[in-house]
Amino acid sequence: MSNAILTVKDLVIEYPRAGKPPFRAVKGVSFEVKPNEFFGIVGESGCGKSTLAKALCGLLPITSGEAAFHALPAHAVQMVFQDATGSLNPRMTIGQTLTEVLAVYDLCPKAQRSEMVATLLEEVGLPAEVALAYPRELSGGQCQRISIARALAMNPRVIIADEPVSALDVSVQARVLNLLAQLRKRRNLTILLISHDLAVVRTVCDRLIVMNAGEIVEHGDAKAVFARPQHPYTQHLLAAVPDIAEAY
Ligand SMILES: Nc1ncnc2c1ncn2[C@@H]1O[C@H](COP(=O)(O)OP(=O)(O)OP(=O)(O)O)[C@@H](O)[C@H]1O
Ligand SMILES: [Mg+2]
């Protein structure tokens, strides 16, 4: 594959430990993500998903191997986290938070900032009045939409979403996932969706990797993986997924 937007090759990530050898959280993973793909990274708690995500956007040093986004300008890779409410400044209104991003990164002329805030809110399905609210006045789903809007303000090419819906009720999860799917199309984004929940990944992803204890145990087209999981670990994960298709 030569048209990849992200190439990860033999990637190893270790955490140093005092008086002990380092802990190897990611043990030599390789995969590629293509432009405009909705790519899933799945696995149980502690398998190394967040470690991988942080390394991909430069928040953690790489021990060895390679993780490279191809031909992307600065700020083109944005992250969205699980704890949306906690990631917003409680003392600032939503409008102030979004305006600050626009101002700090000089993303639009000053006179257009409030209009841009309204546009961003509309893009994530929220009314313009939300600009006047504080994070505590909003639901978890609304806060997650705000953190998506904050990422969009940066004009990203790639969004890495680490458990973006795991703190939300199932019905709200579906709506936030639908929003990500719409944004992918509308903005021609590449999305990496990280989840411990196969049901979440199943609804939106084109391709996925399944991780177990820092290694990739399954890799492929999402439909094929769900129809015919090859690895016992994937079969085990799938068996644990309740049939919640009707919720979506
Ligand atoms: N800062 C750290 N120092 C040492 N070990 C860490 C650190 N962060 C994570 N680990 C360990 O690395 C492994 C992978 O952690 P990571 O957070 O990447 O897992 P995860 O798949 O994101 O899990 P979850 O689904 O719970 O978010 C775990 O065993 C964890 O204990
Ligand atoms: Mg994690």
pLDDT digits (tens, 9 = 90+) for 105-141: 999 999 999 999 999 999 999 999 999 999 999 999 9
Ligand 1 atom 6, closest CA: 15
Q: Which of 207, 154, 200 is nearest to 180 (CA)?
A: 200
d(CA 139, CA 149): 15
Ligand 1 near 14 CB (within 6 A): no
Bridge pairing between strands 190-195 and 64-69: unpaired
Compute and round to an integer the Cα radius of gyration of the chain.
18
196 within ligand 1 shell (Cβ under 6 A): yes
Query: Is residue 243 scored above 70 in pLDDT?
Result: no
Amino acid found at 226: F
Residue of the nearest CA to atom 31 in ligand 1?
A: 46
CATH number for the region 1-72+193-248 comes to 3.40.50.300
Range with the largest mean pLDDT of 82-86, 139-143, 227-231, 240-244: 139-143
3 vs 33, 69, 204, CA distance in Å?
A: 9, 11, 22
Nearest residue to 138 via CA among 184, 92, 193 = 92
Domain edges within the chain: 1-72+193-248
Nearest CA to 144 out of 166, 129, 128 is that of 166
pLDDT at residue 247 is higher than 90: no
Q: What is the mean pLDDT of residues 130-154?
A: 97
Residue nearest to atom 18 of ligand 1 (CA): 48
Distance CA 216, CA 219 (A): 7
Task: Put the strands of the sheet holding 6-17 in their side by side order.
Answer: 20-33, 6-17, 64-69
116 by Cβ neighbours in 10 Å (0-12 / 13-18 / 19+) ranks as middle
- Counting every residue written for the chain, the total comes to 248
Is residue 53 very low, low, confident or very high in pLDDT (cuts 50, 70, 90)?
Answer: very high
Q: What share of the chain is helix, strand, coil (3-state, %, to 5)?
A: 40, 25, 35
Which pLDDT score, from 0 to 100, does residue 239 have? 83
Cα distances from 219 to residues 42, 208, 226, in angstroms, run: 10, 6, 11
pLDDT in tens, 59-72: 999 999 999 999 88
As a whole number, mean pLDDT of residues 26-42 equals 97
* 207-212 and 158-162 strand pairing: unpaired
Q: Is 22 in the pocket of ligand 1 (CB under 6 A)?
A: no
Q: How far is CA 241 from CA 1, 208, 215, 226, in A?
A: 32, 16, 21, 11
Mean per-residue pLDDT over the chain, rounded = 93
Q: Counting atoms of ligand 1 from 1, which one is nearest the CA of 51? A: 18
pLDDT in the model for residue 167: 92
Question: Which one of 12, 13, 14, 15 would you pick to mutate in the ligand 1 pocket, going by the greatest count of ligand atoms within 8 A of its CB?
Answer: 15
Cα distance from N-terminal residue to C-terminal residue, the chain:
33
- At residue 202, the pLDDT reads 87
Distance CA 108, CA 224 (A): 43
pLDDT single digits (tens) 174-201:
999 999 999 999 999 999 999 999 889 9
